[in-house]
Amino acid sequence: MPDGLAEKVISLCVRRRLVYPTSEIYESVAGFFDYGPLGVELKRNLESSWWNYFVRQRDDVVGMDGALITPPSMWKASGHLDAFNDPLIACGKCKRRFRLDHLLEQELQLSVEGLTPDKMQELIKENKIRCPQCKGGLKETQPFNLMFRTQVGVLKDEPNEAVLRPETAQLIFADFKLVQQAARKRLPFGIAQIGKAFRNEIAPRNFVFRAREFNQMELEFFIHPERMDDCELPANWKSLAVTVLAAETQIHKGEGSLLSFNELWDRKMVKTKWHVYWMAACWNFLLELGLDPAHLRLRQHVSAELSHYSSETWDVEYRYPWGWKELLGVANRGDFDLKQHQEHSKKDLSFFVDETKQKVIPHVIEPSWGLERLFLTVLMDAYREKTENNETKVTLALSPRLAPVQVSVFPLMKKDGLAEKGQGVFRNLMPCFSAVYDDGGSVGRRYARADEVGTPYAVTIDYDTLTDDTVTLRDRDSTQQKRVSLAELPEKLNRLLLGSVRFSDL
Query: In terms of CB distance, is 370 or 404 closer to ligand ATP?
Result: 370
Query: In terms of CB distance, is 331 or 398 closer to ligand ATP?
Result: 331
Q: How far is CA 471 from CA 288, 431, 505, in A?
A: 31, 19, 17
Nearest CA to 287 among 49, 41, 5, 58?
49
Nearest CA to 11 among 372, 320, 380?
380
Residues lying near ligand ATP in the complex (CB under 6 A): 167, 199, 201, 210-211, 214, 216, 326, 328-329, 368-370, 372-373
The answer to whether residues 99 and 141 touch, using CB atoms and an 8 Å cutoff, is no
Alpha-carbon dihedral 292, 259, 312, 69, rounded to 10 degrees: 20
Q: Smallest gap, in angstroms, from Cβ of residue 210 to ligand ATP?
A: 4
How far apart, in whole angstroms, are the C-alpha atoms of residue 301 and residue 385?
Answer: 35
Query: In terms of CB distance, is 381 or 438 closer to ligand ATP?
Result: 381
Nearest CA to 372 among 166, 167, 209?
209
Q: How many CB atoms lie within 10 A of CB 22?
A: 15
Q: Smallest gap, in angstroms, from Cβ of residue 110 to ligand ATP?
A: 17
Q: Which residue's Cβ has the minimum distance to ligand ATP? A: 370
Q: Sort strands 407-411 and 435-437 into parallel, antiparallel or unpaired.
A: parallel
Q: What are phi and psi of 291, to 5 degrees?
A: -70, 145
The answer to whether residues 292 and 242 touch, using CB atoms and an 8 Å cutoff, is no
Query: In terms of CB distance, is 103 or 471 closer to ligand ATP?
Result: 103
Q: Smallest gap, in angstroms, from Cβ of residue 298 to ligand ATP?
A: 13
Query: In terms of CB distance, is 144 or 351 closer to ligand ATP?
Result: 144
Alpha-carbon torsion (260, 261, 266, 270), positive or negative: positive
Instruction: Verify cis geometry, omega within 30 degrees of 0, for the bond prior to 188.
Output: yes
Query: In terms of CB distance, is 373 or 421 closer to ligand ATP?
Result: 373
The answer to whether residues 149 and 163 touch, using CB atoms and an 8 Å cutoff, is yes
How far apart, in whole angstroms, are the C-alpha atoms of residue 246 and residue 227?
Answer: 24
Q: Smallest gap, in angstroms, from Cβ of residue 207 to ligand ATP?
A: 10
Q: Smallest gap, in angstroms, from Cβ of residue 277 to ligand ATP?
A: 19
Q: Smallest gap, in angstroms, from Cβ of residue 134 to ligand ATP?
A: 27
Q: Helices 5-15 and 371-382 sit at what angle, rounded to 10 degrees?
A: 110
How far apart, in whole angstroms, are the C-alpha atoms of residue 255 and residue 314?
Answer: 16
Query: In terms of CB distance, is 167 or 451 closer to ligand ATP?
Result: 167
Q: Smallest gap, in angstroms, from Cβ of residue 343 to ligand ATP?
A: 23
Query: In terms of CB distance, is 45 or 216 closer to ligand ATP?
Result: 216
| Chain length of the chain | 506
Query: In terms of CB distance, is 145 or 216 closer to ligand ATP?
Result: 216
Strands (DSSP E) found in 351-463: 351-353, 358-360, 363-370, 383-388, 391-396, 407-411, 435-437, 457-461
Q: Smallest gap, in angstroms, from Cβ of residue 370 to ligand ATP?
A: 2
Nearest CA to 304 among 495, 113, 58, 42?
113
The answer to whether residues 248 and 299 touch, using CB atoms and an 8 Å cutoff, is no
Q: Smallest gap, in angstroms, from Cβ of residue 262 to ligand ATP?
A: 25
Query: In terms of CB distance, is 380 or 450 closer to ligand ATP?
Result: 380
Query: In terms of CB distance, is 46 or 461 closer to ligand ATP?
Result: 46
Q: Smallest gap, in angstroms, from Cβ of residue 53 to ligand ATP?
A: 16
Q: Smallest gap, in angstroms, from Cβ of residue 102 to ligand ATP?
A: 10
